[in-house]
Amino acid sequence: MADRFADKLLTWYDQHGRHDLPWHHDRNAYRVWVSEIMLQQTQVATVIPYFEAFMASFPDVRALASAPEDDVLSHWSGLGYYARARNLHKAAKQVVEDFDGEFPQHQETLETLTGIGRSTAAAILAQSFNKRAAILDGNVKRVLARYHAVPGWPGQTSVLKQLWEHAETHTPDTRVRDYTQGIMDLGAMVCTRSKPKCESCPLNTGCQAYAHSETRLYPGSKPKKTKPEKTTWMLIIEDPDGRILLERRPPSGIWGGLWSLPELDPAYGPEELQYACETELGLTCSDPELIRGFRHTFSHYHLHIQPARLPITGSTAVADSGDQRWLHRDEALNLGLPAPIRTLLTEPEQAALL
Residues marked as catalytic = 36
Contact by Cβ (8 Å): 146, 192: no
Task: Give the three-state DSSP class for 21.
Answer: coil
CA angle at residue 21 from 17 to 22, to 5 degrees?
A: 170
Contact by Cβ (8 Å): 233, 268: yes
Answer whether the bond into residue 202 is a cis peptide, omega within 30°: no
The Cα 354–Cα 339 span in angstroms is 10
**194-226 b/e (C-beta count within 10 Å ≥ 16 → b):** eebebeebbbbeebebbeeeebeebbeeeeeee
Contact by Cβ (8 Å): 133, 176: yes
Task: Give the three-state DSSP class for 307.
Answer: strand
* Bridge partners of residue 309, in order along the sequence: 236, 289
| Spatial CA neighbour of 287 closest among 306, 269, 274 | 274
